[in-house]
């Protein structure tokens, strides 16, 4: 039976029971309590293209896992055991958030660790509240996908807070490796820093008398974050050990960083021949390498490629 048909049938049965409306109200009010912080993260995501693209690819990966597993509706539209667990975790993390924020405010502390706990607890609490709603609507059979997605979304939202801090180190690494590989091909290339703006110096790669600015958009944050999120999602979903998950993350970092460097090199090599179409070329190659990193990460880390044949389909 299709998912919509299962949900509709379950809804028809549940709306007749008074406790359904009480439980729906509880879960809805919890979600609404996170509306301000959710809107803040939504505005940050929509305003930053790289973060938005990572959200889109993560959502696509979750959809692929859902289609692969094809779970049925069970214990849906009620506060089931997984919904209760998610609610408990969400409230506990919310208390940690309030305690850490109060400590920072009352004692006027400038603690990096407390700031990390403060940021991580509110992000995790918000995601677990959303997970409780997912469990409420779809039931307990999607627990594997939901928990995997929740952990990955927590990391996604948490890392997106530090995009500004990692911008310069990532740009510098990408520029240095690009120059190294271009020289490895026997090509003449120059690399220097231009102080056109007082607070934001430019990293310039000079190739064939043309200057290429390794801008903030070229730091690879989006493509690296994309690969890391896919590796974490698959590692948690497949219940890998900590060591295997760590190795997968390192592999994903390498894939994301390598594809970003290859993107920069490709633009530098091709642009002199098509400079009048530079903007189009920049976007085209950026898109190709971005999705290339996604599919390579998915394939190498053995993400499901096709839906398994169930025994009922063989009968």
* Model pLDDT for residues 90-141, shown as the tens digit of each residue: 989 989 988 888 888 888 777 788 888 888 998 999 999 999 999 999 999 9
Q: At 308, is the pLDDT very low, low, confident or very high (cuts 50, 70, 90)?
A: low
Mean pLDDT over the full length of the chain: 87
Residue 176 has a pLDDT of 95
Measured in residues, the chain has a length of: 315
Q: What is the pLDDT of residues 16-62, one digit of tens each?
A: 888 999 999 988 888 888 888 777 777 776 677 877 888 888 889 88
Q: Which of 5-19, 46-60, 83-97, 200-214 has the weakest average pLDDT? A: 46-60
pLDDT at residue 1, rounded to an integer? 60
Q: Is the pLDDT of residue 312 over 70?
A: no
Provide long-range contacts, Cβ within 8 A and 24+ apart, for 92-97.
93/121, 93/122, 93/124, 93/125, 93/128, 94/121, 94/122, 94/125, 96/121, 96/125, 97/121, 97/122, 97/125
Contact by Cβ (8 Å): 227, 293: yes
Range of 43-52, 56-65, 77-86, 200-209 with top mean pLDDT? 77-86
201: pLDDT confidence band, cut at 50, 70 and 90? confident
Q: What is the pLDDT of residue 245?
A: 93
Q: Residue 174 burial by CB count (10 A; 0-12/13-18/19+): exposed, middle or buried?
A: buried
- pTM given for the model: 0.87
Distance of CA 110 to CAs 103, 105, 217, Å?
Answer: 10, 10, 31
């Amino acid at each position: 039976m299709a998912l919509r048909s299962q949900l509709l049938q379950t809804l028809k049965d549940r709306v007749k029971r008074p406790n359904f409306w009480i439980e729906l109200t509880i879960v809805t009010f919890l979600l609404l309590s996170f509306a301000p912080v959710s809107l803040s993260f939504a505005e940050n995501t929509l305003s930053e293209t790289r973060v938005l693209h990572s959200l889109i690819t993560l959502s696509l990966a979750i959809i692929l896992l859902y289609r692969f597993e094809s779970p049925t509706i069970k214990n849906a539209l009620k506060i089931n055991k997984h919904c209760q667990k998610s609610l408990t975790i969400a409230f506990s993390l919310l208390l940690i958030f309030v305690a850490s924020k109060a400590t920072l405010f009352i004692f006027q502390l400038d603690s990096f660790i407390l700031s990390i706990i403060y940021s991580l607890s509110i992000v995790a609490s918000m995601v677990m509240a959303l997970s409780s709603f997912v469990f409420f609507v779809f039931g307990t059979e999607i627990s594997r996908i939901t928990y995997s997605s929740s952990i990955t979304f927590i990391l996604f939202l948490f890392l997106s807070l530090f995009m500004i801090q990692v911008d310069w180190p990532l740009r510098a690494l990408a520029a240095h490796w690009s120059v190294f590989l271009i020289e490895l091909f026997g090509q003449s290339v120059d690399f220097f820093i231009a102080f056109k703006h007082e607070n934001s110096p430019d990293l310039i790669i000079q190739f064939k008398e043309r200057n290429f600015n390794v801008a903030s958009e070229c730091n690879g944050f989006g493509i690296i974050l994309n690969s890391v999120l896919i590796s974490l999602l698959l590692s948690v979903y497949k219940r890998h050990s900590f060591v295997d998950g760590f190795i997968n993350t390192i592999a994903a970092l390498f894939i994301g960083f390598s594809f970003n460097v290859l993107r920069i090199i490709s633009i530098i090599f091709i642009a002199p021949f098509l400079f009048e179409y530079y903007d189009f070329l920049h976007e085209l190659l950026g898109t190709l390498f971005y999705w290339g990193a996604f599919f390579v990460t998915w394939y190498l880390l053995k993400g499901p490629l096709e839906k398994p044949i169930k025994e009922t389909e063989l009968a």
